[in-house]
Amino acid sequence: MTAWVLGLVLASYAPQQAGSTLLDPAREARVQALGKQLRCPMCQGLSIADSNSSAARAQMDKVRELVASGRTDEEIRGYFTSRYGEWALLEPPATGMNLLVWLLPLLLLLGGAVAIARTIRRPASAPPAPPAKPAEPETDKDRPPPDDPWLEAVRAELRR
């Protein structure tokens, strides 16, 4: 019980989240949409709109400030890419080396589909031939004279 009361008391002294005042609903929706496009510098794979880190909150405040100053969405994305590089975008544009990242999975899927299609279309192989009847051992008079004594020794071993 005391831990619970202590938690409530300490929660009232916890630092508040950094944040600027919210904008009107239309511009705040634009801020949230832009925040979903920008990567959090502290979290892996999260946008700054979805992250609770202080760096993400500071970047959301910057987005809010830029939207309030009348910047376009492209200018705001450009602001972050000029400072942090294309890494700041959750979905980098499909140009240059990024084009390879976008196309490689498609090429691999296409190659896999071609390989599967070729395997399926391959005609069934002929049924295996019936096993041959064992040959009757040759007699010495039917056999040609040995050319190689080592070969004859191997043949003798195989006949055993």
- Helices 54-68 & 73-84 angle (0-180, nearest 10): 140
Query: pTM of the entire structure?
Result: 0.52
CATH of domain 16-88: 1.10.8.640
CA distance 153 to 91: 73
Q: Which residues contact 73 (CB under 8 A, 6 or more apart)?
A: 30, 33, 34
Structure tokens at 66: 């830029």
What is the pLDDT, as a whole number, of residue 2? 56
**Along the 160 residues of the chain, how does pLDDT read in single tens digits?**
554 444 444 444 433 345 567 788 888 999 999 999 999 988 888 999 998 899 999 999 999 999 999 999 999 999 999 998 888 888 877 777 777 777 888 899 999 999 999 888 877 666 667 776 666 655 666 666 667 888 888 888 998 8
What is the pLDDT, as a whole number, of residue 12? 43
Domain ranges of the chain: 16-88, 93-121
The enclosing H or E element of 25 equals helix 25-37
End-to-end C-alpha distance for the chain, whole angstroms = 91
CB 92 within 8 A of CB 49: no
CA distance 135 to 69: 96
Structure tokens at 124: 């069934």
